[in-house]
Structure 1
């Protein structure tokens, strides 16, 4: 309790309040625009946060990160188009409600479930902070190296069906982290006698290229669609009363979000699917899922909004980002010489508690803002794609140039933008590149430090936490290889993509057959009536 006044003192500033307000409102607006997402917005704003105090920059980025999922539910429910990728499951039950004229009920359920999930995760983190403060000092160089290696493996394993390409892209990210001066002897690596490569490949330039510029290229190549917003009835407050009738679904789904958020490389998608599947199995009406089920909507929204706060655990406690957005936030720490990890919980616990309180305030601000302004926010879904793409393109290049006033950085960002565009068109992951760059640098430094005290290979795992992490790595690798071998031994070796195509073709063929059957029946009926008339 002694840390609470110190944490409030950190937050009691006008610039922090302004950052919270701008982040919460801006994140909701960005989430409500299909095709943008928090990664693009954070990538664009990242250079500007370097000039701010750490607490101001982080609250701004956390505001966008946490509130964008609230806004992403709006187009998912109204026009069957998720505002952010993690709102995809919201369309399963949100849009059928809209088709029944219950759009306000669906929006209210999404807001209330998101609020419960967000608040639940932050409260869990507040109670977990003392535990983290005791565990974090036990992590030395070899433990952090193994934790970073575990995070890298989890990122690869999380991309089922694309593990080889995810591993290759992670390796490419690690390679990018080695370009420039190496940290021990300061010799040049992979610079090819080019002076502009001596400083290495800047993480922010790569982030802006892979996320912002690639999305701008995608938007510029997409056709503009005319969107008609449906009429709805009901109150935006009724969702809280309905949520109270499903407390188990909200609690279990929020728990999945917290648990999955703490594991590097897992994130919102796994949390959503696990919570949605469990809610469907435990429901008394599982047949309603996918057809406008309130339980399905609560499960998906409470799970994905519980992840952002939980994703800060590996970042703050170990200095290891679990995904691309927390990797971007890690750069804000480094710019201001605030090193996340065991020392942060020992030396600057008020700063950590201030971040948690900021997340609590953020959820309250977002909820109030949504209840007031939903009628205006729905019109953001009508912004033309190409106009939006030009805005993102312009802001991205301005952000890249402002980092070091370098035209070379703009060219590098453009090259990575084209790479990201190709990867997105091929439906290949981008996140492993960013995590490879961040975790690769951490792994290299920690491995060099730990090798100075090791004489035999087994000395690397002679401490309890290191041994546990090593065993977890072996278990994950063994179980993954076993699953791959079992899938290979099955008679049906088609890839998930081919199975999905076959399923889609079967559905289309069935619909086509039913269409022709109905036409034949109509023709026969018409002939019968013509015969009676004659």
Structure 2
């Protein structure tokens, strides 16, 4: 164990990794501080750059942006009542009323400290859970991986609540896109329509850049009216959050535990953990009426739970090679480029990388917390940047990023195609994430299903005669049944 930790420290000691952690966290915080700019788009633009870095540095650059954005998203949520990131919506409920009372600095301190506590607990969960589940994954064969991929896709769809049916359609569209190309099993082209440039399939990177980054740029450029804001930072004490956390330690620990658990479920993530954490905090509070009016416990529940997801969401990817959300799909691309295969073999073959990843995630949370504690007075000025200027920069970087991966004009055109699709989806409130997960999980499911059917000579009963496969199948059936029962109850009520 000690040898592995020392190897991990040696991995992290690289200047490239340290810079990736620091730069990634600062970029993420900056993105989170600017209303209207989502971290997924910036991560998509940085994806081609991460391919040129060492594996650990490439992963930490993206994860740093991801984790840092959840820290930074609290700034506009608290000071402007405008979520810097989508998951900071509940932060506005109690953070903004506190700022209106002249307690803006205290509210930010609570948010930073809560995020730090949630982030550290999340990393600890990754350290303990990932190796255990990876050991379980050694018992997986093609039927189990097929059911796991299907379960992930079902969860992604069901997690979209009121938008389940549009999400299912988008998932199907993503599966269709993922099936385009040369079928290696039979060496025949699938849905290429005699276009040789489609034989390699629809490239993931341009699709991600277009769907998340360039579509957001179109939204920023098309918005009318003022797109910059003025903010005031009042109150004293950037370190008072520790006191509030200690007073509400049960809320913090419960919210962190919920965040860790929700991170393990594909598609549920931050939104689900925030909702349940906030609801439970209010339910068990001695003063539930004060929630939404500036109760620190509500702010703690929101910020602790969303940051507790950031590392635990990596558990399914590292243990099984199954991405739980769009960012994990991007990390899977980084692993693939460097010939690292997530799953049980990664823990055995690259223990120094795994150990280095754990240490780097701890460092990322420390960097984000320290940076925000001392730099907030300057960070608030980012809210004054024009959205149209940001949109123009993102659009240019999107074209450059999509073209630079393979230096093919077709990749830039594919990015533009997905940008238009993403813009239409955003304007109509239709989720785009299922498209990417369909492109990634769809081929996994289809390939493993073909392998399973080949092994069993077409006998479908193998999915119920193997214990792990049966458990996963029961989870799928139970999830769909509960969802349908919920719809029936609503209609009857």
TM bucket, shorter chain: over 0.9
Say whether 1:239 aligns with 2:241: yes
C-alpha distance in structure 1 between counterparts of 2:82 and 2:88, whole Å: 9
Say whether 1:442 aligns with 2:417: no
Q: How does 1:356-505 map to 2 (within 5 A)?
A: 356-455=358-457, 456-490=459-493
Contact 1:139 1:342 in 2 (8 A): no
SS at match of 2:441: helix
Contact 1:180 1:189 in 2 (8 A): yes
Partner residue, 1:205: 206
How much does 1:129 deviate?
Answer: 3.8
How much does 1:278 deviate?
Answer: 0.3
What TM-score, normalized by structure 1, do the two folds share? 0.90
Partner residue, 2:143: 142
How much does 1:5 deviate?
Answer: 1.4
How much does 1:406 deviate?
Answer: 1.5
C-alpha distance in structure 2 between counterparts of 1:481 and 1:85, whole Å: 27
The range that moved more, 468-477 or 271-280, is 468-477
Partner residue, 2:52: 51
Partner residue, 1:30: 31
Change (3 A) 1:463 1:246: same
What TM-score, normalized by structure 2, do the two folds share? 0.97
Contact 1:316 1:341 in 2 (8 A): yes
How much does 1:183 deviate?
Answer: 2.1
C-alpha distance in structure 2 between counterparts of 1:95 and 1:273, whole Å: 18
C-alpha distance in structure 2 between counterparts of 1:89 and 1:447, whole Å: 41
SS at match of 1:233: coil
C-alpha distance in structure 1 between counterparts of 2:476 and 2:52, whole Å: 39
C-alpha distance in structure 1 between counterparts of 2:129 and 2:263, whole Å: 14
SS at match of 1:162: helix
Q: How does 1:74-473 map to 2 (within 5 A)?
A: 74-222=75-223, 223-455=225-457, 456-473=459-476
The structure that has the greater radius of gyration is: 1
Contact 2:230 2:383 in 1 (8 A): no
> Structure 1 unaligned runs (5+)?
491-534
Q: Write out per-residue CA displacement over residues 137-191 of structure 1, whole angstroms, 9 at most, x where no aligned residue.
A: 1122211110110000011111112211111110000000011111212211111
SS at match of 2:332: helix
The range that moved more, 407-416 or 72-81, is 407-416
Q: Write out per-residue CA displacement over residues 61-108 of structure 1, whole angstroms, 9 at most, x where no aligned residue.
A: 111111110001001111111111011110111111111111001000
Q: Write out per-residue CA displacement over residues 478-503 of structure 1, whole angstroms, 9 at most, x where no aligned residue.
A: 1111111222223xxxxxxxxxxxxx
SS at match of 1:452: helix
Runs of 4+ residues over 4 Å off in structure 1: none
How much does 1:348 deviate?
Answer: 2.1
How much does 1:226 deviate?
Answer: 4.7
How much does 1:231 deviate?
Answer: 4.0
C-alpha distance in structure 1 between counterparts of 2:127 and 2:337, whole Å: 26
Q: Write out per-residue CA displacement over residues 384-407 of structure 1, whole angstroms, 9 at most, x where no aligned residue.
A: 010010010011000011011111
Partner residue, 1:13: 14
C-alpha distance in structure 2 between counterparts of 1:426 and 1:90, whole Å: 25
C-alpha distance in structure 2 between counterparts of 1:464 and 1:188, whole Å: 36
SS at match of 1:244: helix
C-alpha distance in structure 1 between counterparts of 2:445 and 2:253, whole Å: 36
Q: Write out per-residue CA displacement over residues 31-60 of structure 1, whole angstroms, 9 at most, x where no aligned residue.
A: 111111210111000011111111110011
Contact 1:183 1:445 in 2 (8 A): no
Change (3 A) 1:226 1:50: closer
Give the aligned CA root-mean-square deviation in angstroms: 1.2
How much does 1:225 deviate?
Answer: 3.5
SS at match of 1:232: coil
Partner residue, 2:41: 40
SS at match of 2:46: helix
C-alpha distance in structure 1 between counterparts of 2:9 and 2:129, whole Å: 19
The range that moved more, 381-390 or 189-198, is 189-198
How much does 1:233 deviate?
Answer: 1.4
Q: Write out per-residue CA displacement over residues 474-529 of structure 1, whole angstroms, 9 at most, x where no aligned residue.
A: 11111111111222223xxxxxxxxxxxxxxxxxxxxxxxxxxxxxxxxxxxxxxx
